[in-house]
Amino acid sequence: MKKSQLSLSIKARFIALTAIIFVLMSLMLINFYYNYVKVYNATNDELISITKSDIKDRIKLATDSVAFSLSTLIKGKNKAEQVAIIGSVLEDLRYEKDKSGYFFCHSDYTPVVLPIRKDLIGKRLYDLKDTRGKLFVREIRDNAYKKDGGFTTYTFNQVKGDGTNVVREKTTYSILIPNSDDILLATGIYIDNINQKVAGNTTSIKELMRNNFVFFMTVAVIGFVLIVTLILLFAKRILTAIKRMQEGLGSFFDFLNKRTKSVDYIEVTTNDEFGQMAKQINHNIKKVTANLSSEYSFLEQINSFVNELKTGNFVAELNTDTQEETLQVVERSLIELKGALSENVCKNGRAMLDLLESYKGLDFTRQLDDDAIMAEHVNLF
């Protein structure tokens, strides 16, 4: 049983090859884009983590420095004096571009210095929760009593300059002020401010990654277009060569089958394999055509010679220049036949017939000027 074979034309195969390359390139670009997004997000997350850690370190360092400076100012003072000194120092101390950064102090769970919400000073906030239900005041106090302080993340209602409230997520660092009567110092930064800092710090890296992605995509698309263009040009060249070879061979076979009297040679002049094939085929077509033309000429001369013999001209000449051995045998046989007729019968068959016709009319005065055997015997009459 014969194996089934996929029957596709060369043109269809080139189209299939182009489609396969397109699919592979598309899959490669999709995979690259997926990995790019994955790496981009991972890099962004890592940069955010690094930036947040760096900001926290700076907040801690700044708060520890302020706490140390305050400790020298309040040393030996009573609690009321300590609160007054700390309040005067922190009242106008701000940071961040939007002036949202400030320092505040609690004694246990009660604010004693709170520049932006003086209405809460002296109120116990032990049970105060953020918008998520977190008891953040307790956590701020607990972290402050740790050896190196600690951070607390919570949501906070910020009162803007126009009087409106905005819920923002905040991370706060707290630590006990040395030489104080259990007064903790705290400050925090809003998460969206951190994100803005992250965005500012990572812009150049993200831009570089985007530029690399765009560059790769551009190179990939240009490469795909070039590859497809080369394939199409290559396919066109091959298909054109094949078409011209088909046309040339068709013309040659029409000539062989005597449907045409001339042959159109294959017009492929390239230096590749198709050009070499066309050159070899044209050479053989030229050779076969020349032989056939010689044979046709020979047959025409043979036909003319036989017609002469039919009319009784047994001295007709047959001169051909054929190089075919078989045709040369035919030529020699016909010449020998002519010679046999001219020697044994007569040289002019028509004259013989005319003489016999006169003998039929009892006119025996005519004779043949012929030395052939039968002609000499007829002359005896």
In the chain, domain spans: 14-202, 273-379
* pLDDT, position 298: 79
The span from the CA of 337 to the CA of 328, in Å, is 14
233-237-238 Cα angle (round to 5)? 120
Q: State how far the Cα of 124 lies from the Cα of 110, in Å rounded to an integer.
A: 4
Mean pLDDT, residues 313-318 taken together: 75
| Burial classification of residue 269, based on how many CB atoms lie within 10 Å of its CB (0-12 exposed, 13-18 middle, 19 or more buried) | exposed
Q: Which has the higher per-residue pLDDT, 249 or 43?
A: 249
- Pick 85 or 304 by higher pLDDT: 85
Q: Shortest CA distance to 47 belongs to which of 184, 175, 198? A: 198
Strands 101-107 and 183-190, by their bridges, are antiparallel
Find the range with the poorest average confidence among 202-216, 254-268, 291-305, 360-374: 360-374
- Pair type for strands 150-159 and 101-107: unpaired
> Looking at the predicted structure, is the pLDDT value of residue 50 above 50?
yes
Structure confidence by residue, pLDDT tens digits, 65-80 = 999 999 999 998 999 9
pLDDT the model gives residue 127: 93
Torsion of the alpha carbons at 10, 16, 19 and 20, rounded to the nearest 10 = -120
Enclosing H/E stretch for 171: strand 165-176
DSSP of 305-333, one letter per residue? HHHHHHTTBTT---------HHHHHHHHH
Q: What percent of the chain has pLDDT over 70?
A: 87
Q: How far apart are CA 50 and CA 57, in angstroms?
A: 10
- Structure tokens, 1: 């049983």
What confidence category does residue 175 fall into, taking pLDDT thresholds of 50, 70 and 90?
Answer: very high
Please give the single-letter amino acid code of residue 102: Y
| H helix or E strand, kind and range, residue 215 | helix 191-256
Residue 26 has a pLDDT of 84
Side chain identity, residue 300:
E
The whole model's pTM is what? 0.50
For residue 183, pLDDT beyond 80: yes
Concatenating the DSSP letter of every residue in 23-50 gives: HHHHHHHHHHHHHHHHHHHHHHHHHHHH
What pLDDT, on a 0 to 100 scale, did the predictor assign at position 1?
44
**Residue 275: helix, strand or coil by DSSP?**
helix
pLDDT at 5: 52
Which CATH number is associated with domain 14-202? 3.30.450.20
User: Do residues 231 and 17 touch, judged by C-beta distance below 8 A?
Assistant: yes
Span 224-242, average pLDDT: 84
Highest mean pLDDT range out of 14-23, 145-154, 230-239? 145-154
Mean pLDDT of 314-334: 77
Quick one: pLDDT at residue 143? 94
List pLDDT tens digits, range 134-162.
Answer: 999 999 999 999 988 999 999 877 656 55
Q: Which range in 26-40, 43-57, 106-120 is most confidently predicted, on average pLDDT?
A: 106-120
Find out whether 313 and 348 touch, Cβ atoms under 8 Å: yes
d(CA 160, CA 172): 19
